[in-house]
Amino acid sequence: MLSDKAKQWIKDLLWLFYPEVCAGCERAAAHKGNCFCVYCQSQLVPANMHLAKENEFTERFWGRIPLQSGAALYFFQRRSPLQRALHQLKYHRQAHLGIQLGRLLGGQLRQSPLFQAVEAIIPVPLHPDKEKMRGYNQSAMIARGVSEAMNVPVLEGVLVRRRHTESQTRKRRLERFKNVAESFVLAKPQAITGKHILLVDDVLTTGATLEACGRALFAAPIARLSMATVAIAMSKIH
């Protein structure tokens, strides 16, 4: 059996001869350990929220749900390398991009004392019909990457989506909340009782989906709830 050092050496060698294409421009080679090339990385807007107890992420849930901590990796911008990468992840069966983005997110969260007590990671679930059509749950792919970086287990099947809701993309704020209301149910409350849970999704916009998931999770006596996403829409969009 190969040692971890040998596996990494083989991985590095393969990357040298077969570098991955950048998820942002699909022209240049992705920088090692990232899904973006150096130029596309320079076009991204880091959110840098992981070290602040109160930030733009947590503010969106004030008065709505008791949130321990919250953070996003980047600010979302239209026609940006990040939007193109997320589009590839969700609609073009590029599941590996979710894992890579999750590793970046998890690597950042690992540096923060606010997230070091997290005991389990739960991805926002898709309805089974939609997951079958897409081939995977993009949030679950991100959660796997976060899990690798933080060395915290992912618990799938604990939270399930019982209603097949319409896409949130073109809906206004109030429509989003109505669309996902009571869409999620806790299937295995015993798996998260007394734990600090990290809920993971791809993008935070109004927070309607994350709030609906959070309310379902609180059906079990969980100790704390934190949330993290790859991207957060800028306030002016709302």
Instruction: Tell me the per-residue pLDDT of 176-225, one tens digit each, with 9 for 90 and over.
Output: 556 676 789 999 999 999 999 999 999 999 999 999 999 999 999 999 99
Dihedral sign for Cα atoms in the order 103, 210, 170, 74: negative
pLDDT tens readout for residues 91-132: 999 999 999 999 999 999 999 999 999 999 999 999 999 999
Rounded average pLDDT over 78-82: 96
Whether residues 161 and 49 share a domain: the answer is yes
Whether residues 48 and 25 share a domain: the answer is no
Residue 156 has pLDDT above 90, yes or no: yes
| Gap between the Cα atoms of 142 and 153, Å rounded | 13
Whether residues 1 and 103 share a domain: the answer is no
Whether residues 106 and 58 share a domain: the answer is yes
Whether residues 141 and 28 share a domain: the answer is no
Give SS3 for 170.
coil
Whether residues 32 and 57 share a domain: the answer is no
Rounded average pLDDT over 155-161: 95
Rounded average pLDDT over 68-78: 97
Whether residues 67 and 12 share a domain: the answer is no
Q: 185 is written with which tokens?
A: 């149910």
Indicate yes or no: pTM above 0.95.
Answer: no
Return the CATH number at 98: 3.40.50.2020
**Chain centroid to CA 186:** 19
**Chain centroid to CA 224:** 18
- Determine the structural domain holding residue 27 and report its residue range: 1-43
Q: 61 is written with which tokens?
A: 């849930």
Mean confidence (pLDDT) of the chain: 88
Residue 2 has pLDDT above 80, yes or no: no
Whether residues 72 and 120 share a domain: the answer is yes
Domain count, the chain: 2
What phi and psi values does residue 87 have, to the nearest 5 degrees? -65, -40
